[in-house]
Every structure is written in C-alpha cells, then in structure tokens.
Amino acid sequence: MTRVEFQHRHAGHCESGVMSSLLTHYGLPVSEPMAFGLSASLLFAHFPFIKVGGIPLTAYRMPPGSVIAGLSRATGTRMRRSRYRDPEAGMRGLDAALEAGRPVGIQTSVYWLPYFPPDMRFHFNAHNLVVFGRDGDEYLVSDPVFESPQRCPAADLRKARFVRGVFAPKGLMYYPEHVPAEFDLQRAVRKGIARTLNVMTRAPMPWVGVRAVRRLARHLDKLGRRADPRYTRSLVASVIRMQEEIGTGGGGFRFMYASFLQEAGERLDAQALAEAADAMNGAGDRWREFALAGARFIRDKGQSATVPLTEALEHCANSEAAVYRQLRQWLRRHPAPSAAAAGK
C-alpha cells in the first residue's frame, strides 16, 4: 500500500477544489475561492448553436482546464501535465507518481466513478480529483465534491480516465512541479479581476457575458408565446441544471467569486473589494431566485407564463452588471504598479 499524507478538503467545485488542495499540499496555500478568482474562471455563456442532447449549452464558468492554467499563470506555478495514449502507460504513470510520494490531479469522466450517487452519474468527462494513494487494487481518491476521501477500484478509475468524446481526458494527470514561495497578490488579483471584467462585459460575441444573460431573458420571453411549452421546459431545466448541479450549487460560482473578492479585499486591505463581494453575494441570491422561478415553471408543466423567468434573469443581469461597474472603478482608482515601480 502506498499512501501520501494528503489533506482532503470538501469544495464547491471540482477543478478549483483540486487546484486549491494540490497547491496547498505542494507548499503554496491557496483557498478554493482564490483559485477560482485568480484564474478568472467566472463566466456566463449561452450558446444557441452548441447543442447537448438537443438543448443549447449554458455555462457558468470557463471551460475545463482554465482553473489549472489560469491559476498557475497567476501564481507563477509550473505545472507538469501528462496525457497518455495508452491506458496501461497512464496507470503506470499514476503509480509511479504515487511511489514517488506525489499526490496528483487527474481528469476523469463522472459516469464511470462508482462512488458517485447513481443519479449523479452522467457522461461529463471533465471532472477533476486528486489521487493520493493505492491500496491493492483500489486507489485512494480525494474528490473535492465529496465530504470525505473515497476509494475507487483500479479498473473503474482506468475507464474513467480513458473515455472518449467531448473533453476526453486522455489520461490527463498533473501536479505542480515548482511552486513559488510567494507571489504578488495585488498584481494577481488585479489581473484576474480585469480578465473577468473583460469576459463578462466586453466580450465581442453576444453569447458571452452579461449581454448573454439578457439575451437569454429575451429568448425565454419569446418562447413564452409559443404554443408548445415542452421545449421551453427542457431549456429552463437545462439552464438551471448547469447552474445548480454541475460543479456547484445555488448559483454557486457567484458565491464563490464573492468569497474570492472578500478574501482579496481583506488581504489587500481594499474596502471597495469587500463591498463588491457583498454585491456579488447579492447577485448569487438573484440567481437562486431565478432557479426557484424556473422550478415553479417546470412543476407547472410549462403551462405558466415565462414572464417571471425573464424578470428574474434581468435581475441577475442587472445585479451582476452593478458588481462589474464597482470592480472597474476599483481597477481605475488603483492602477497597476508599473513594471519599473515593481522593480523589474
């Protein structure tokens, strides 16, 4: 039995949870909200032309891999990433890392992990978890969306690592090769916030950002006048499911981002960020109200009007837009220290 001492943490979301606990293990303590915020992973996007099971795709955070990439860029961590063509080699690589005393993050499918509750097992291939040991034919797994460490039989883990399809993990395995002793938090926070502001308020496509929330609101309004509510019903269910179930709960990414702003505000002693955190927390509450309105609509078999949904979404858009205005002001008032001043 090989086993590395690893502190399991229950997190709101898989990728940010894995990165937070991995970096902390390798010597750079980063909270989950920090991992999420510094990597600028907050998003809203609704793509009418990308369909999953006939329903347009909705996303509340950046695509898989962006926390890993964004956080290492922000902190100056060098990640070692390996993908494998051959499953045998992939499992050997994992064993070798464990033998060397290294817990590693891996990407897996959710469907083939037996410790997931049956009703949660769908074909989503970009789940992330940490493997920190092996006991005979079972791997010891720290899956951040579970309260406690889990065990996973080798055959299942192998299948989950080598499924094909959208976001195919191809055995992806990663760990920090080099973590800095410290990093410039002020700079990282500014950059992370600036990136999120750009994506959420200045994206050149109408399917991304606050504009996309309003666009979806108008779309639901139009759908409300359709005779057949079945499609509207599945669309609303899918939007809410992406919001509540996949990764986090309760407009979860908004609350997580609020926590990031709060922590950043405290550590940088910036009152404006603390206020923005409160506002973002409020935006999360608006998303929860939208989810409630959506659930009501679904329970009515789509017979009721979509007006409350449109209104709730408009509230979400308004409150988020207000947060972004606050954040932009903070950025303007505190210009980035120039490269010369930073001593480079």
Partner 1 sequence: MKREDVPQEGNRTLDGHRKALYARDEQGRLQTVESAGWAVEELVTSMAVAEFRELAEEARRRVDAGQSSPLEFYMYQRRMDLQVLAQASGMWRWRVRRHLRPRPFRHAGHRALARYAEALGLPEQTLRSWPPEEVS
Q: Is 145 in the site for partner 1 (CB under 8 A)?
A: yes
In angstroms, the CA 105 to CA 84 distance is 14
CB environment 283-297: b (16+ within 10 A), e (fewer):
bbbbbbbbbebbeeb
Which residue in this structure is represented by tokens 């709060």?
A: 262
In angstroms, the CA 156 to CA 121 distance is 13
Q: Is 47 in the site for partner 1 (CB under 8 A)?
A: no
Sequence-ordered list of residues with C-beta below 8 angstroms from that of 35, at least 6 positions apart, any chain: 16, 17, 19, 20, 23, 67, 71
Sequence-ordered list of residues with C-beta below 8 angstroms from that of 124, at least 6 positions apart, any chain: 109, 110, 111, 167, 246
Which of 154, 295, 321, 322 lies at the binding interface for partner 1 (CB under 8 A)?
295
Q: Name the residue nearer to partner 1 (CB basis): 103 or 284.
A: 284
In angstroms, the CA 74 to CA 77 distance is 8
Q: Is 306 in the site for partner 1 (CB under 8 A)?
A: no
Q: How many helices (H) and strands (E) does the chain have?
A: 11, 9
Q: How far is the CB of 7 from partner 1 (least distance, A)?
A: 15
In angstroms, the CA 115 to CA 140 distance is 12
**Terminal-to-terminal C-alpha distance of the chain:** 48
Q: Is 122 in the site for partner 1 (CB under 8 A)?
A: yes
Q: How far is the CB of 158 from partner 1 (least distance, A)?
A: 11
Q: Are 8 and 131 in contact (CB under 8 A)?
A: no
The sign of the dihedral angle between the CA atoms of 92, 93, 97, 98 is: negative
* Number of amino acids touching partner 1 (CB under 8 A): 50
Q: Is 53 in the site for partner 1 (CB under 8 A)?
A: yes
Stated as kind and residue range, the H or E segment containing 80 is strand 78-82
Sequence-ordered list of residues with C-beta below 8 angstroms from that of 185, at least 6 positions apart, any chain: 264, 267, 268
Rounded to the nearest angstrom, the gap between the alpha carbon of residue 73 and the centroid of all alpha carbons in its chain is 17
Q: Is 87 in the site for partner 1 (CB under 8 A)?
A: no
Q: Is 284 in the site for partner 1 (CB under 8 A)?
A: yes
Q: Name the residue nearer to partner 1 (CB basis): 52 or 203.
A: 52
Q: Is 112 in the site for partner 1 (CB under 8 A)?
A: yes
Q: Name the residue nearer to partner 1 (CB basis): 11 or 213.
A: 11
Q: Which stretch binds partner 1 (CB under 8 A): 5-13, 66-74, 134-142, 318-326?
A: 5-13
Q: Which stretch binds partner 1 (CB under 8 A): 6-14, 39-47, 192-200, 310-318?
A: 6-14
Q: Is 128 in the site for partner 1 (CB under 8 A)?
A: no
Q: How far is the CB of 159 from partner 1 (least distance, A)?
A: 7
Q: Is 81 in the site for partner 1 (CB under 8 A)?
A: no
Q: Is 178 in the site for partner 1 (CB under 8 A)?
A: no
Which of 166, 205, 307, 342 lies at the binding interface for partner 1 (CB under 8 A)?
166
Q: Is 171 in the site for partner 1 (CB under 8 A)?
A: no
224-253 residues in contact with partner 1 (CB under 8 A) are 237-238, 240-241, 244-245, 248-250, 252
The tokens describing 288, both together, are 């929860």
Paired residues of 61 in beta bridges: 42
For partner 1, the binding residues (CB under 8 A) are 10-12, 32-33, 53, 111-112, 117-123, 145-147, 159, 163-166, 237-238, 240-241, 244-245, 248-250, 252, 255-256, 258-259, 262, 277-278, 281, 284-285, 288, 291-292, 294-295, 298-299
